[in-house]
Amino acid sequence: MEFTKLLVSTENNICTIKINNPSALNALDTSILKELEIAIDLVENNSEILVLIITGEGRAFVAGADISEMVNLNYDEGKAFGAFGTRVFRKIETLSKPVIAAVNGFALGGGCELAMACDIRIASENAKFGQPEVDLGIIPGFSATYRLPKLVGVGKAKELIFTGSTIGATEAYEIGLVNMVVKPEELMEVTFKMAGRIAAKAPIAVKNAKLAIEKGLVCEAEDAFENENNLFGSCFSTQDQKDGMSAFLNKVKPKFNNR
């Protein structure tokens, strides 16, 4: 698949998707969202890929959605555009492999929303986060009003959304929006190091852990416990479990084969 606004590469079981429209600060338009959906489907269906990294080219991660594309939308068109972005970001959130956002710069509006759809967020010191949609006469879309309160708490989410404030990487870390903050020149090195650590673990166990966490966030406690028990039990039908426990007992490093 040839992409025009994404740079996609895979190395050591780690795929990197880089939004590549720097002249527009990687603003999300329909064409980028379509390419991103295709790329996510390819990652999902490639058993050799164990971890996905999403980042941006230039000085922005994603500086928002493309306002020039949205300015003349009517109700139905606006709703459809929001639903499309929500669908793509939900695919990222529910991808069976862990997704790390390497936030290299501006992550505003759609960019903050893209980062929140990822499992882990690592930010450069010069990253900026915000939901400035109220300055445009709209509300955050792509499920931002759902994810942001879960990450930073209801009160802080309302503050950020109602004021449209932009915050730096340090404050984003302090409120729980990002997992860590690193020097700009170290961003990709640190991200790949974390991705490599995850890729070295038992892939089916990592997948099941992600499924258990995601289910637990949206269901009642008893259902979450039952789901976790099922996923826990299913691990014992894998060769990875046998190899991992055998390696532990024999005090050697495990080698997993994703089966």
Which residues are annotated as catalytic?
Answer: 113, 133
Q: How far apart are CA 57 and CA 7, in angstroms?
A: 9
Answer yes or no: are the C-beta atoms of 78 and 31 closer than 8 Å: no
Closest CA to 214 of 145, 117, 86: 117
CB of 36 within 8 A of CB of 88? yes
69, 114 in Cβ contact below 8 A? Answer: no
d(CA 257, CA 1): 27
Beta strand segments in the chain, E = 6-11, 14-19, 51-56, 60-62, 99-103, 106-108, 120-124, 128-130, 166-168, 180-182
Apex 218 CA angle, 205 and 229, nearest 5 = 40
Angstrom distance (rounded) from CA 207 to CA 12: 18
Kindly report the number of other CB atoms within 10 A of residue 3's CB atom.
16
How far is it, in rounded angstroms, from Cα 174 to Cα 169?
A: 9
